[in-house]
Structure 1
Amino acid sequence: QATTMSLVEDLLFCPYNRAHRIRPDAMPKHLYKCRRNHPKTKLVICPFNTIHHVPGPELNAHIVECPDRAAFELYKYCITDGSRQSHTPTAQEPELIYNNEPPRRSLTPESGFGDLEEVTAVVGRSLQ
């Protein structure tokens, strides 16, 4: 009976329907299905844990308090610095990394398929 009680205590509430109590290992699959069944419920997904679905206006507060943020920050710190020292992350917004490189034409070789009009004409004919 103690085992049954611990299983019930370990169940998580579904953020889309509080009547749903889900095992932690089944939560990702459940959330995928439940999110599709509740399209009007405007929840956003935490960047540190995909089973954390929170109301949009509460996301910033959740990011600061998310228990999985520390593990992510520690991982990020070890990868970027190569350090093995422990690091206590500070509560701040996650760093956004932008791709600032100019676009490149990587799909057409330099020796080419001809000029752009010729390629467009060939592609256009194949789609008709």
Structure 2
Amino acid sequence: MRDGNFEIFKKALCIHLIQLLGIWASGFTKTTRFVAVAILFFMSFSYGFSICGVLLLFGLKGIWMSLLLFGLQGVTLLFLGIMVGEHSLRYGLKGHEVYGATYRQLVVFCIAGALLISLVDAYIQPMVRSLF
């Protein structure tokens, strides 16, 4: 089971890093700002669609399942995505002279957030799933 959890961790980390760093990197030029909005929309839509499906499939029990399975990491990931998107827009408007150091520090925050969310996905979620 440990190898399976580590594989889930690696895949989740890659997905979350691609999403967050994709939003971060889209702030470098004005033409790629739409990419950040598209990534953030995709993240929101996929979590919303998953929660809706669980609610329709399981009814009242689905509320608790959605909250436990998607709630914590979904809200955290969307919060990070919105925060990184806001900083990437601010970086695009203010430029690298004024906002460059803060924007570079945001990468560390993205990596730490993706690590934490991936750890929850890989090691805590299997325990929660066994409750249902």
Q: TM over 0.5, yes or no?
A: no
Q: TM-score range by the shorter chain?
A: under 0.3
Q: Give the TM-score of the pair, scaled to structure 1.
A: 0.21
Q: Higher RCO, 1 or 2 (CA under 8 Å, sep at least 6)?
A: 2
Q: Which has the larger radius of gyration?
A: 1
Q: Give the TM-score of the pair, scaled to structure 2.
A: 0.21
Comparing both structures, which one devotes a greater share of its residues to helix? 2
Comparing both structures, which one devotes a greater share of its residues to strand? 1
